[in-house]
Amino acid sequence: MKNTFNVYFFLKTSGRKSNGQFPIYARVNINGKRADISTKRSTKIENWCRASGRLNSKTSNARSTNKYLDNVYAKILDAHKQLHMENGLITAQAVKSRYLGSDKKVTSLGDLIEYHSQYELPKLEKGTVKNYSATIKYLFRFIKNHFQGDDIKLQFIDYPFLVHFENYLRNCPPLRASQPLHHNGIMKHMERFQKFMNIATKFGYVRTNPFNLYELKFKPYESDFLELQELDRLKKLEIPEEGLRIVRDLFVFACYTGLAYIEVKLIKDKDIVVGVDGEDWINVRRKKTNTPVKVPLLKEAKRIIELYSIHPDIKNTSSLLPVYSNQKVNQYLKVIAQKAEIKKHLTFHVARHTFATTITLLNNVPLETVSKLLGHTKLSTTQRYARVVEKKISSDMNKLRGILNNAQSTTMVKATDYPHLKVIQ
């Protein structure tokens, strides 16, 4: 069936402006169905030639306006031609969408990132969004360096592209001199790049996902945790500066609750509930996974809550503790570590590892219980936090020695017990 297609310009008389002018519209007509497109231009009705669909030649700005309308007309024809070449459904609305660019097809990495920024980033937390920003910067730096261009078509992103990008990350200068790229950091960038390509695959923008052939290889990383004597030294440290003192107390609170920074920041009065044992418990949801977490409120954590119950920063709010920004907290922790003579890279996340290892595991709390207290959905995740350190191994082995010694002494055979037996040499 042959399609009928025409385009003409008209004045929208229902849209009269305060200056007496009327907006000029282009009308796309295909098989009796039409779609109107604003040209962003207007004129008085006496200056308009209805027969030609242009301004009267005697009008002062007729030449420039008519040239502009000719350009609009050519772009509409080109939009129609593109749809025809793609063998897509050709309608008046489809031509309008193609002209306006609202049906823009994702063909390049830049298009894909733009889609991700518009539809996926709003679902993520601010900290995660910041990480994607770094990955995008590295990707476009690589494209500039390797291909001498500002963007690349998705069809050219293949397995060698991934290998070259990984090698680039291993050798390029970091975005910040103070934050060099290590192996696991590089793998995180590759992981975020993989998520871009997963979207491209799902929507059919690429035929094959090059990451099907690529393996992300993270190296096991053991975060620092404080041993009991270090934690005691930190708690007893005299700190005259209020800001540092608050951060120290927040860190200690996390050491005895296992809460992450964002959970400590968001904890409210209503999150302290009476547990099954009649004692106070913390009842919150993990921000990262939205899983429920119920933690008995230990004496040290309760002391810190009471200490700040009348602090001016929380007096008129439902917050339990005064919490600075994550960046400021981690800056202060470096100063606190020096004051306490702790030779470890102290971040707020170290408190969570301290809770898992020093507070719970080394006090014989079962790993399954620790997993519940940390809000983990998989036991394997907890095993990375709660390492069986040498003290725990020593304690367990001493118990085993005692058991074996007792068993051996009760089962040892004595010659006097069996006088009729003779030892043959």
Condensed to tens digits (0 to 9), the pLDDT of residues 43-91 reads 999 999 999 999 998 888 899 999 999 999 999 999 999 888 877 678 8
Asked whether residue 277 is domain-assigned, the answer is: yes
186 and 298 together in one domain: no
The last residue of one of the domains, among 76, 100, 124, is: 100
The amino acid present at 235, given as its one-letter code, is K
The last residue of one of the domains, among 80, 100, 120, is: 100
264 and 368 together in one domain: yes
pLDDT in tens, 350-379: 999 999 989 998 888 888 898 889 888 888
367 and 234 together in one domain: yes
Domain that holds residue 114: 109-213
12 and 35 together in one domain: yes
Report if pTM > 0.85. Answer: no
| pLDDT of the residue at 203 | 79
Measured between alpha carbons, how far is residue 15 from residues 20, 42, 44, 50 in Å? 10, 10, 12, 17
| pLDDT of the residue at 414 | 57
Asked whether residue 415 is domain-assigned, the answer is: no
The CATH code of the domain that includes 258 is: 1.10.443.10
Strand locations in 50-103 (E): 54-55
Pairing of the two strands 48-49 and 33-43: unpaired
- Give φ, ψ of 29 to 5 degrees: -125, 115
89 and 147 together in one domain: no
Tally the domains of the chain: 3
| Dist. CA 69–CA 81, nearest whole Å | 18
Cβ proximity of 260 and 288 under 8 Å: yes
Asked whether residue 349 is domain-assigned, the answer is: yes
pLDDT band at 409 (very low <50, low <70, confident <90, very high): low
Asked whether residue 424 is domain-assigned, the answer is: no
| pLDDT of the residue at 316 | 65
| Dist. CA 108–CA 110, nearest whole Å | 5
326 and 269 together in one domain: yes
Task: Give me the chain's average pLDDT, please.
Answer: 89
pLDDT band at 393 (very low <50, low <70, confident <90, very high): confident
168 and 82 together in one domain: no
**Lowest mean per-residue pLDDT among 103-107, 247-251, 417-421:** 417-421
| pLDDT of the residue at 69 | 96
Better-predicted residue by pLDDT, 418 or 275: 275
Q: What percent of the chain clears pLDDT 70, i.e. is strictly above it?
A: 92
77 and 127 together in one domain: no
| pLDDT of the residue at 313 | 77
Residue 231: count other Cβ atoms within 10 Å of its Cβ: 22
| Dist. CA 3–CA 88, nearest whole Å | 13
95 and 123 together in one domain: no
In this prediction, residues 307-330 reach a mean pLDDT of 86
The last residue of one of the domains, among 159, 178, 213, is: 213
pLDDT band at 145 (very low <50, low <70, confident <90, very high): very high
